[in-house]
């Protein structure tokens, strides 16, 4: 891929919009890069306020210089993605644009990809990149924010990646079974049948990152363990990747119990949405209590997602924002 810059002045002597030309080496990849009826190019044009004109294997990019730089970097990133054999979807185009302006953080060079046997997960927002780095560089990480931001999915991918790389010996995935009041004995069926309805999102993520037969075999062998939060009591979790999902539904006592299970060679991740607490009214969320208590401790990473990080259907982001606005109207912050 090569680039040629050009710019000029308009009749009044002011600098005219800049233009840059991209040339791609493999024409066969361009239909996927541009999208059907150039839909990916149109998406970039609308997002950045620029013009993209396709001329064979050359693409003319014109508009404000700062927007051109973002567009060129995004297109280069998408082209490399196609070269590596990965498909391009609308969300990937949005992610490529978002990631260009990603700020440097405490970890320096950002790690933005997780490799699993079935797929390569690439961070779609700067916040997701921060989250991945937090799990890489810290023994304890928190992922906080609304549904659809990838908190649980990314954590499961990271767990599978570390297991396959031999960095941990076991994956332990847990959730509070709030709907059953943690009293699973009253439910019909064996323990697996009682637990499975609460663990379905975790199973979905596992089967998306590992072949199904491997998931089943590793569960049978105890290499992957999926259990409700109450089953963690009294254990020390060594050389494991430990995930507590829906942490907002743990009580402070349960959260402290879970956090103190962290053993030698283990990595622990807590995810949750503090706006979706299902505990009885008046009961403080253990996730909120932990965030307030553990702020500032070295070795603990906190990643806060917002509606801007929602990577599901575009309507999900608007729904989250609408509910947040409603919450602020119904419950305005109290003045001191």
pLDDT in tens, 262-313: 999 999 999 999 988 988 888 999 999 999 999 989 999 999 998 888 876 6
The 10s digit of each residue's pLDDT in 59-102 is 999 998 888 988 998 898 888 888 878 788 887 888 788 777 55
Is there a single domain that holds both residue 139 and residue 278?
Answer: yes
Q: Where are the beta strands (DSSP E) in 40-93?
A: 51-55, 58-63
> For residue 108, is it within any domain?
no
* Distance, CA of 32 to CA of 89 (rounded, Å): 9
255 pLDDT band (50/70/90 cuts)? very high
Rounded average pLDDT over 33-39: 90
If asked whether residues 86 and 180 sit together in one domain, one would say no
- pLDDT band for 195, please (50, 70, 90 cuts): low
Residues 95 and 168 both lie in one domain: no
Give, in order, the Cα–Cα distances in Å from 225 to each of 9, 55, 218, 231.
Answer: 65, 54, 8, 11
Q: Look at 172-176, 180-184, 287-291 and tell me which has the smallest mean pLDDT.
A: 180-184
Residue range(s) defining the domain that contains residue 50: 2-100
Judgement on whether residues 89 and 158 belong to the same structural domain of the protein: no
Average pLDDT along the chain: 83
* Beta carbons of 61 and 20 less than 8 angstroms apart: yes
Three-state DSSP class for residue 43? helix
Query: Do 33 and 179 belong together in one domain?
Result: no
Q: What is the CATH number of the domain that holds 28?
A: 3.30.1370.10
Q: 293-302 pLDDT, tens per residue? A: 999 899 999 9
Residue 106 in any domain: the answer is no
For residue 187, give every residue at least 6 positions away whose Cβ sits within 8 Å of its Cβ, in sequence order, or none: 180, 193, 194
Instruction: Report the pLDDT averaged over residues 217-225.
Output: 94
Domain end, chosen from 47, 76, 100, is at 100
Count of domains forming the chain: 2
CA distance 259 to 264: 13
Note whether residue 125 is domain-resident.
yes
Q: How far is CA 113 from the centre of its chain?
A: 10
Q: What CATH code is carried by the domain that includes residue 117?
A: 3.40.50.300
The pLDDT score that the predictor gives to residue 227 is 84
Could you tell me if 190 and 326 lie in one domain? yes
Residues 181 and 244 in one domain: yes
DSSP state of 25: S
Q: Residues of the chain with pLDDT > 90: what percent?
A: 40
d(CA 296, CA 126): 22
Q: Are residues 162 and 301 in the same domain?
A: yes
Nearest alpha-carbon partner for 247 in 232, 258, 236: 258
CA distance readout (Å), 200 to 143, 193, 214, 282: 19, 11, 17, 28
Contact 232, 173 (CB under 8 A): no
Dihedral angle over CA of 44, 143, 232, 170, nearest 10 = 50
Q: Which residues contact 241 (CB under 8 A, 6 or more apart)?
A: 158, 159, 162, 163, 168, 170, 171, 172, 266, 267, 268, 269
Asked if residue 237 has pLDDT above 60, the reply is yes
**CA dihedral of 178, 273, 154, 190, whole degrees rounded to 10:** 0
Residues 84 and 136 in one domain: no
């Amino acid at each position: 891929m090569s680039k040629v810059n050009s710019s000029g002045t308009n009749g009044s002597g002011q600098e005219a919009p800049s233009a840059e030309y991209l040339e791609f080496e493999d024409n066969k990849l361009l239909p996927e890069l541009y999208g059907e009826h150039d839909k990916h190019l149109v998406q970039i044009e609308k997002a950045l306020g620029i013009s993209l004109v396709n001329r064979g294997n050359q693409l003319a990019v014109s508009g404000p210089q700062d927007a051109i730089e973002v567009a060129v970097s995004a297109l280069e990133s998408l082209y490399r993605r196609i070269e590596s054999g990965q498909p391009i979807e609308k969300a990937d185009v949005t992610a490529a644009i978002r990631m260009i302006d990603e700020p440097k953080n405490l970890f320096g060079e950002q790690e933005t990809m997780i490799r699993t046997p079935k797929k390569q997960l690439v961070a779609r927002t700067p916040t997701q990149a921060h989250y991945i780095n937090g799990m890489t560089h810290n023994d304890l990480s928190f992922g906080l924010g609304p549904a659809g931001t990838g908190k649980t999915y990314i954590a499961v991918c990271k767990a599978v990646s570390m297991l396959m790389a031999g960095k941990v010996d076991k994956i332990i995935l847990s959730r509070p079974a709030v709907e059953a009041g943690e009293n699973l004995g009253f439910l019909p069926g064996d323990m697996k049948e009682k637990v499975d309805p609460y663990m379905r999102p975790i199973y979905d993520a596992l089967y998306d990152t590992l072949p199904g037969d491997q998931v089943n075999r590793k569960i049978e062998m105890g290499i992957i363990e999926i259990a409700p939060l109450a089953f963690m009591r009294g254990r020390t979790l060594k050389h494991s990747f430990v995930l507590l999902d829906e942490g907002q539904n743990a009580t402070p006592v349960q959260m402290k119990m879970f956090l103190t299970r962290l053993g030698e060679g283990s990595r622990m991740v807590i995810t949750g949405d503090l706006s979706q607490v299902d505990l009885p009214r008046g009961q403080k969320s253990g996730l909120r209590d932990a965030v307030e208590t553990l702020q500032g401790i070295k070795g603990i990473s906190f990643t806060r997602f917002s509606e801007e990080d929602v990577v599901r259907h575009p309507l999900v982001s608007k729904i989250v924002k609408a509910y947040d606005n409603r919450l602020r109207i119904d419950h305005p912050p109290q003045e001191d």
